[in-house]
Amino acid sequence: MTKPKVLVSDKLSPTAVQIFRDRGIDVDFEPDLGKDKDKLAEVIGQYDGLAIRSATKVTESILRHAGKLRVVGRAGIGTDNVDKDAASKKGVIVMNTPFGNMITTAEHAIAMMFAVARQIPEASASTHAGKWEKSKFMGVELTSKTLGVIGAGNIGGIVCDRARGLKMKVVAYDPFLSEDKAQKMGVEKVELDELLARADFITLHVPLTDTTRNILSAENLAKTRKGVRIINCARGGLVDEEALAEMLKSGHVAGAAFDVFSKEPATENPLFGLPNVVCTPHLGAATTEAQENVALQVAEQMSDYLLTGA
């Protein structure tokens, strides 16, 4: 029997390559190929499996060239870079690794919450510049504040747990969260409008879907309390960035911490350059631990499927 062949077209940990080889799968490691759609279209026909992160865009046109392809494995959670309808029409399975980077992403959201509460990036830049602006950077405590968590699933659930450890009150909006589970998690399940009206900090942990797109629209942002701080380490497109920028300028929103943007790579954005807006370049899953976990998981899952169909 000929060995299945996998292409790794994004920067995955070498652990993935080792696992494919150990499992008896031929693997080509071309971590920059995913950015070159013409080259990818040229070679994809040779492969049974494609392992990616977020740089490779698996479009309908790529899939048209993928005559042998059986599985696309996303080392990470979001599969928004894969045309899933086109894949399913061709019978190509799309799999992700929903658990490998959830702790890391939750920790990034908590780090961003601290950063925006105490203006750490701006205070650091000012201190590096030799300014010693001690009175400029007055912060707020997290203890006893209300954190509104939109989406209390894998990542949101860990954020709830960490926030409770920080002695915050946690209110969660999540249609899939049962009252019983909320009670066990020590959080209060609320409707979105109540969360918006009560939260001192709001953090988003939902995927981008037709239901969640623009969940923090101009209209919903207007329902928040004055002085709210907003954290988005989930997906660009969940928050109306133009409307948020206006509310930051008016002083209604006291700060924002964004890891994800409606257009990525984000080189321009209405939030850029505003005071007390902390931005990172989609680093939510960027730890050595998480990248090892997702590489290992995607390689094992894809190998299982290619070798046994399971």
Residues in 75-94 that interact with ligand MLT by CB under 6 A = 76-78
Tell me how crowded residue 134 is: count the other CB atoms within 10 A of its CB: 10
Sheet bearing 201-204, strands edge to edge: 188-189, 169-173, 146-150, 201-204, 228-232, 253-258, 277-279
| β partners of residue 7 | 28, 50
The residue among 5 and 11 lying less far from ligand MLT, judged by its C-beta, is 11
Which residue lies nearest ligand MLT, judged by its C-beta?
A: 76
The one catalytic residue among 264, 268, 289, 300: 264
Element (H, E) at 95: strand 93-95
For the bound state, the minimum distance from the C-beta of residue 182 to ligand MLT, rounded and expressed in Å, comes to 25
The one catalytic residue among 282, 289, 292, 300: 282
Ramachandran angles phi, psi of 147, nearest 5°: -100, 125
| β partners of residue 257 | 231, 278
Active site (annotated) includes residue 282: yes
For the bound state, the minimum distance from the C-beta of residue 37 to ligand MLT, rounded and expressed in Å, comes to 18
The residue among 69 and 77 lying less far from ligand MLT, judged by its C-beta, is 77
Site string for ligand MLT, 39-58 (x = CB under 6 A): --------------xx----
Q: Cα 82 vs. chain centroid, distance in angstroms?
A: 15
Is 301 a binding residue for ligand MLT by CB under 6 A? The answer is no
Active site (annotated) includes residue 60: no
Is 151 a binding residue for ligand MLT by CB under 6 A? The answer is no
Which amino acid appears at position 3 of this protein?
Answer: K
Is 284 a binding residue for ligand MLT by CB under 6 A? The answer is yes
Active site (annotated) includes residue 65: no
Residue 42, both tokens: 């040229």
Instruction: With contacts defined by CB under 6 A, name the span among 13-21, 70-78, 133-141, 246-254 that binds ligand MLT.
Output: 70-78
Count the site residues for ligand MLT by CB under 6 A: 8
Question: In angstroms, how far apart are the furthest CA atoms of the chain?
Answer: 71
In contact, 50 and 87? CB cutoff 8 Å: no
Interacting residue ranges for ligand MLT, rule: CB under 6 A = 53-54, 76-78, 101, 284-285
Which are the catalytic amino acids? 235, 264, 282
